[in-house]
Structure 1
Amino acid sequence: MASDAGLDLVEVSPNVEPPVCRIMDYGKWLYQQKRKAKQNQKSHHSTTQKELRLGPEIGENDKNVKVGHARKFLEKGHKVQFTMRFRGREMMHVDQGRELMVSVIESLSDIAKPDKEPKLIGRRMIVVLTPAKK
């Protein structure tokens, strides 16, 4: 019957009694399975977290370059973590570092929002930005 119809005879369940067979176009079925797998893989987008490091004494132009890199990462859908490390006597000027972090957050506020406020953990100040939903 399969050869008369120009199709393939495919054994679906060989371990049952009697074995189950199906008349179908096997090449077409394989193509559809590959296509389904490809579609499922497309819909799964993994987000990664990128880290950018700043210092409390960073210059304005250097800060703008870091913000530009962060903007590119956020447009691709990645999370961005800004880390500011305070060394030595820089710990006396944590407020200046916080102001710098706030200015970075404000400059990226059109495409990202912070998960939390900048937080000081030991000698590091950390803030994570996530892409804003459009």
Structure 2
Amino acid sequence: MRKAYLLCFLLLIFMLSGCSEKEKTVKFNVPKEISNIVISGEGTEVYFSGDKDINKDKNIVLDDTEAVEIVVNALKQGTPPSTGAMTTEGPSLQINLIYKDNTQDTFDFWFRPEEKTGRFEDNDGRVFMFKKQDISKIETLLRKNAEKK
């Protein structure tokens, strides 16, 4: 009799373990239509030629529709990091989303294209990792738009 109760108990536990809620995938939401994106911070200096001290505070403005769409899609496709170590260094850049209604959001932006890594932290403190293919697209945009200055 005990074996039957034990077997039923184990079967019940097995069934309940399979009924747990599925993990929710956290996605970054862009709440409004964006007019342009400004990338700023000390990390922009590598995209400008010339004296690093002079160019230290330059901003890179992405204002054409294609550039904005590439960055917005990269933001939306960002995923929470899997387990593992992340750098304790501060962000090298800030990304400023300027919406069509003239409001804006600014996020910390860690970007290391040479290592094919990039991440950002939203206003709620959630961290999202960029996909590798998006990192190369963003770097190309930063280089191209820094040259327009």
Give the structure-1-normalised TM-score: 0.32
Highest RCO, 1 vs 2 (Cα 8 Å, sep ≥ 6): 2
Question: Whose strand fraction is larger, Structure 1's or Structure 2's?
Answer: 1
Give the greater-gyration-radius structure (CA): 1
Give the structure-2-normalised TM-score: 0.29
